[in-house]
Structure 1
Amino acid sequence: MNQIQVVDSTTTAPIDPSHKMTGDAAPHVVEEVPGVLQLLSDGSVVRGDESVLWPKDPLPDVPGVQWKDVLYHAAHALSVRVYRPESSPSVTGSSSKLPVLVYFHGGGYCLGSYTQPHFQAYCLRVAAELPAVVLSVQYRLAPEHRLPAAIEDGAAFLSWLRCQAELGAGGGVDPWLAESADFARTFISGASAGANLAHHVTVQAASTQEQRAVHPLRVAGYVLMSAFFGGADRTPAEVNPPLDVTLTVDGSDKLWRMSLPVGASRDHPVANPFGPESPNLAPVDLPPVLVVTPEKDVLRDHVMGYAARLREMGKAVEVAEFLGERHGFSVLQPFSEAADELMRVLRRFVYADFASPTAL
């Protein structure tokens, strides 16, 4: 039986189904991802082995990429995994440095880790094949740290990255970034909840006054893959979901209940970027966005609606639809034909010649 760690405790014990008995004196389960995560009635959290959620097929190696972990937030002990090709070829011919792709992993804000092998495989591919400097960011998870904690961490990471860009080749900058990163071509990206996080970090950065000033870090675009958006009203894809989905409507609802502030609905601004209390994005000078949406996804209508609303506002939006694919295909099957096509789409977007990238 898998062993788990009880949060804020030094003891370990297996996940106990008897916790479900609400008549027990002991705390009972109020939400759970079976075998992986339990939220108890006293607010404590029990975590199991998340590897049971992932495909068991071995992942091939991606040669020619270096990686290391760098601490970016000492107070919360948060790190970023930095990937770069062992050699830094000039794709455009204008610079030996490479674009920077910030990446936030998925997991409904409750699960996942930047160290998980499938997220690692995706980042290795991107670093090797775009090529790019990839920054895979650790952030705090719910329900121990409910939203907006993860968004605060994402914003803190971007502030750290700005400081790295300002330091340039001077003292204190990470040497890999100084050698390889073209901060003027920075892209913010993520998958599932990571895509939701990428949206909010990009909006926050684009909404601040400091983005108007000349700054060595410039965000040229953002990329949302299988974005984890929601809303109080059900969409057609949620009412009549596709067959054999990897994320169910019930699963999505459960993750929102565990990650949003207690008592919040799916119209909370974090879940629904166009909800009744969400900020108006029309005046926000957003950079171009690439929206990647799989066909067999209960969240498909939310994602397509997001792209349509931005287009109505005059924003630069590219949509890449993947027929027959499911939510999270970019990491669940990181070496599939669909993943190969995603790499081509991503490379074209990152290396597009945007005349006036937005400075953040």
Structure 2
Amino acid sequence: MRLVRELALVRGNMRSNEDKFDLVIISDCVLDIYYRVRELPIRAGDVSVSDIIALSPGGACTTALVARKLGLKVAVIDRVGDDPFSDILINYLSNNGVYTGFMKRVHGFTTISNNIIGTGGHAFVGYLGVGKDLTISDINENIIRVSRTIFINGFYAAFTRNIINAFVEVARIAHERPIPVFLDTGPSINNEDLIIDLIKSVNTVFMNEEEMRRLFGDITGLVSAMHGSDAIAVVKLGSKGAVLVHNDLIRHCQAHNVGNVVTTIGAGDAFNAAYIAGILRGLSPEDSCNLGNRVAALRIQYLTPLELPNLENYLIK
């Protein structure tokens, strides 16, 4: 019955372009749990007590939240567990206007990230849940076809090769329309060969500087790899801004630094949302990149993305 209801929604959304999802987000929807400790690292035998605790959608669902705050109609496709963590995650998303009806609940645990913030940085202790086993059978093709854009978060691609097949198939389905596909490579600590092949199947790829070096060595290697493709590569550089690589040209995007940094966790996910929102609203890649930096700079002034204000005015500045 749930599938029937989902397909009814899809058919309803196909009636006009106005009813389409602006953005369908695929994979890496996790529950973030935030702690703040006096200092890092925490060593064996230490007793460290956090002075705060907060829960929030994280990973690609940070991108979903920020995109929704930017005024986009957003849906998420992923596998989550039948545990209480998924209840919390889905409720947070739904209560903030993100459509969750395509999230498939299966037996097991949802992916969790414990985000530990200390002086000078942060650390993660996480659990890879059922989301790492996402396959193309979990994704209805019609859902892809009623989106204006697709965003794939490639985090799990570093841990399982099978999920990359699902991502490639999603890109193929989207390009039949054609629908632009955005990809964040994720950490890229394994399976670099397949991740590079996946990059070649999308329209825009996001990565940070460390991920770029793992995949391509340096910016010259990235330019060489993108040669002959009309795809755009965006390298996020944190406080140094970002660079665009397109048609063998490198363009720098303006950094927007702030003094009141609470945490840099999720800044890249917020950047992704703003860049995509900019493109959907008709901004150039350069202006969308600058918008991404502005929104990322705002994100790091709050503990969680849930605390961000409505951001629709950012699209008209």
- TM bin, normalised by shorter chain, reads 0.3 to 0.5
Q: TM-score, normalised by structure 2?
A: 0.40
Point out the structure with the larger helix share: 2
Larger radius of gyration: 1
